[in-house]
Chains A and B, each alone.
Chain A
Amino acid sequence: MSLRLAEAERVSFAYGAEPVLDGVDLTVEQGEFVALVGANGSGKSTLLRLLLGLERPQTGAVRLFGVDPRRLGERWRIGYVPQRAVLTTSLPATVEEIVAAGRLARRGWARRLRRQDREEVDHALESVALTDRRRDPAGSLSGGQQQRALIAKALVSRPELLILDEPVAGVDLDSQARFRDSLMHLVKDHGAAVLLVSHELGAVAEDLDRVVLLRHGAIAFDGAPDELASQGVNLGIHAADLPMWLESRRPHPDQPT
């Protein structure tokens, strides 16, 4: 049986009187590549924040590597790229410094980085094809390159679970392809699991193991991508719930399913 890296069990959450999640169950197992999809306001980012321990569920339980996220000691086991993460142009920091910051979870925040850390930084930069920009100011990168730098920062601790919230929103196609290569390197070569929230699944569509669809704060579907594409209508799932890629794979109404 595969190890359960992230688990949400009957989780409910509300911001004040506004319910966001209602009795959500979700698991991500070792080596799985899972996409969390749904319309804006369906509760995707909130579910991620609960899984990461940034919020506490009002009812139900959340576990990371089998323990309460707030009690997880080895934080390097999680890599996280938050939504709309951008680097301000005024920040005086090189790409290499941004990526090296991700090693603190592994090394300890008060310790100096050693040769092994620098090698990991080299490897992470290489995996997102930013080696030649390592000494450049982070603010001089394009939006797609900045996202790749932040993904390298998340990868550099060699996490067992990588959680990404809309990492390729507004990113050019070339960067999306490189992003896909980086993720597949982590999944295939390091056996890590990926939980990805995105409206643009195009780059990784063929590599997904599962798609979890949230609608109005509840799980509307949890299964294989093809199953969702073919049975979505029968499940009461509408175009607004689906990322463009899944929508394009839905069979025409006249076609036999």
Chain B
Amino acid sequence: MTFAALALPFPFEREYMQLALLAALVVGATAPLIGTFLVQKQLSLLGDGIGHVAFAGVAAGLLLNVWPVWTALIAAVTGAVALEWLRSRGHTSGDLALSLFFYTGIAAGVVLTGLAGALDAGLLTYLFGSILTMSAGDAWTIVALAVFIAGTVAVTWRAMFTVVLDEESARVAGLPVMGLNLALSALTAVTVVAAMRVVGVLLVAALMVLPVASAQRVCHSFRATLLTSSAVGAFAGISGLVVARFADLAPGATIVLAAATLFAVCALWGRLR
């Protein structure tokens, strides 16, 4: 896949920075859309747990010599659906089910990368992100996943909001509660994989949760929270990228720190209003 570089000013004058800008913008805007529901369901760390399962998927890809994004997607979606199934059956509490996948994922990832002989710097690109080394194919894959996430949320957000309010009433109203919960888990997995190259599996949950925490400080309605968190995420993506370029820092970490700074600003604004 190709990418036609635009004539943009510094710091986005280079093609790799434009690819990074595209990825940071779409991931920053879509990750909080999913995070808004996770935060209300008190599943803020779900993205973190699924991120670790995705890491095992990346390792499997390296071992099998398959593009790691596909194997990460398969592992993350499978893990997310299994986690929701365990949680909904009531046999395992949410945090225990999360711990189970969290540690199994990271351990399986280390073993598989060891078997693949890939315990090197290349692995760090998935753990902490490597937005500046993305190919055009990586960037368009991220855009496609983000469009899928945003489109699904646009159709289902009212129903998911109703489930967040009260699962039992939603069931009585005839909503497909189990299906919507599974869809949310699967979308979380897709978001993790989309964000993996931007901020890395270890920081992906931050991009889902911090913009939502910021929006909640200044918004009263659910719809406004959804849209504001998306805008905050996109702004964190761009500003983090700019800071990384100016200061020659790791962009994944500066994007997350930008999101944390925006939270502090929103918290202050919410308090002063």
Of the listed stretches B53-61, B194-202, B217-225, chain A binds B217-225
Alpha-carbon gap, A78 to B175, bound state (A): 13
How would you classify the secondary structure of chain A's contact residues: helix, strand, loop or mixed? loop
Is B173 in contact with A75, judged by CB distance below 8 angstroms?
Answer: yes
Contacts of B6 in A (CB 8 A): none
What are 26 sample pairs from A and B whose C-beta atoms fall under 8 A apart? A53-B172, A54-B168, A54-B171, A54-B172, A73-B174, A80-B168, A82-B169, A85-B169, A91-B222, A92-B216, A92-B222, A92-B225, A93-B165, A94-B220, A97-B222, A97-B223, A98-B165, A101-B158, A104-B158, A104-B162, A105-B173, A105-B175, A109-B156, A109-B159, A109-B162, A113-B158
Alpha-carbon gap, A113 to B157, bound state (A): 12
Alpha-carbon gap, A91 to B223, bound state (A): 12
Tally A residues with Cβ within 8 Å of B: 34
> Among the listed B159, B161, B172, which residue makes an inter-chain contact with A93, where contact means beta carbons less than 8 Å apart?
B161
Alpha-carbon gap, A78 to B169, bound state (A): 10
Q: In this complex, what residue of A is CB-closest to B40?
A: A91
State whether the Cβ of B4 lies closer than 8 Å to any Cβ in chain A.
no
Is B173 in contact with A137, judged by CB distance below 8 angstroms?
Answer: no
Is B174 in contact with A105, judged by CB distance below 8 angstroms?
Answer: yes
State whether the Cβ of B248 lies closer than 8 Å to any Cβ in chain A.
no
Is B221 in contact with A97, judged by CB distance below 8 angstroms?
Answer: yes
State whether the Cβ of B120 lies closer than 8 Å to any Cβ in chain A.
no
Alpha-carbon gap, A247 to B80, bound state (A): 53
Known A101-B158, A101-B161, A104-B158; judge A109-B175 contact (CB<8 A): yes
State whether the Cβ of A1 lies closer than 8 Å to any Cβ in chain B.
no
- Closest CB-CB distance, B218 to chain A, in whole Å? 10
Is A82 in contact with B168, judged by CB distance below 8 angstroms?
Answer: yes
Contacts of A85 in B (CB 8 A): 166, 169
The 10 closest A-B pairs by CB, nearest first: A75-B174, A105-B173, A109-B159, A92-B225, A101-B162, A80-B172, A93-B222, A137-B220, A94-B221, A92-B216
Alpha-carbon gap, A78 to B225, bound state (A): 30
- Closest CB-CB distance, A153 to chain B, in whole Å? 8
State whether the Cβ of B255 lies closer than 8 Å to any Cβ in chain A.
no
Residues of A28-53 whose CB lies within 8 A of B: 52-53
Q: In this complex, what residue of A is CB-closest to B156?
A: A110
Alpha-carbon gap, A52 to B173, bound state (A): 10
Tally B residues with Cβ within 8 Å of A: 27
Contacts of B169 in A (CB 8 A): 80-82, 85, 153-154
Contacts of A76 in B (CB 8 A): 173-174
Contacts of A100 in B (CB 8 A): 158
Known A82-B166, A92-B216, A110-B155; judge A102-B173 contact (CB<8 A): yes
Q: In this complex, what residue of A is CB-closest to B229?
A: A92
Proximity bits, B208-252, A CB within 8 Å = 1, else 0: 000000011001111111000000000000000000000000000
Alpha-carbon gap, A113 to B162, bound state (A): 14
State whether the Cβ of A90 lies closer than 8 Å to any Cβ in chain B.
yes
- Closest CB-CB distance, A103 to chain B, in whole Å? 9
Q: In this complex, what residue of B is CB-closest to A140?
A: B220
Alpha-carbon gap, A90 to B42, bound state (A): 11
Alpha-carbon gap, A2 to B150, bound state (A): 48
- Closest CB-CB distance, B35 to chain A, in whole Å? 13
Contacts of B158 in A (CB 8 A): 100-101, 104, 109, 113
Is B165 in contact with A92, judged by CB distance below 8 angstroms?
Answer: no
Q: In this complex, what residue of B is CB-closest to A72?
A: B174
State whether the Cβ of A119 lies closer than 8 Å to any Cβ in chain B.
no
Is A104 in contact with B172, judged by CB distance below 8 angstroms?
Answer: no
Q: In this complex, what residue of B is CB-closest to A92?
A: B225
Alpha-carbon gap, A137 to B218, bound state (A): 11
Residues of A92-127 whose CB lies within 8 A of B: 92-94, 97-98, 100-102, 104-105, 109-110, 113
State whether the Cβ of B176 lies closer than 8 Å to any Cβ in chain A.
yes
Other than the known A92-B215, A105-B174, what 18 A-B pairs have Cβ atoms closer than 8 Å?
A54-B171, A80-B169, A82-B168, A91-B40, A92-B40, A92-B220, A94-B221, A104-B158, A104-B162, A104-B175, A105-B173, A109-B159, A109-B162, A109-B176, A113-B158, A136-B220, A137-B221, A157-B173
Q: In this complex, what residue of A is CB-closest to B158?
A: A104
Known A85-B166, A90-B216; judge A97-B161 contact (CB<8 A): yes
Alpha-carbon gap, A85 to B172, bound state (A): 14
- Closest CB-CB distance, B72 to chain A, in whole Å? 29
- Closest CB-CB distance, A63 to chain B, in whole Å? 16
Alpha-carbon gap, A110 to B159, bound state (A): 7
Alpha-carbon gap, A97 to B166, bound state (A): 13
Alpha-carbon gap, A153 to B169, bound state (A): 10
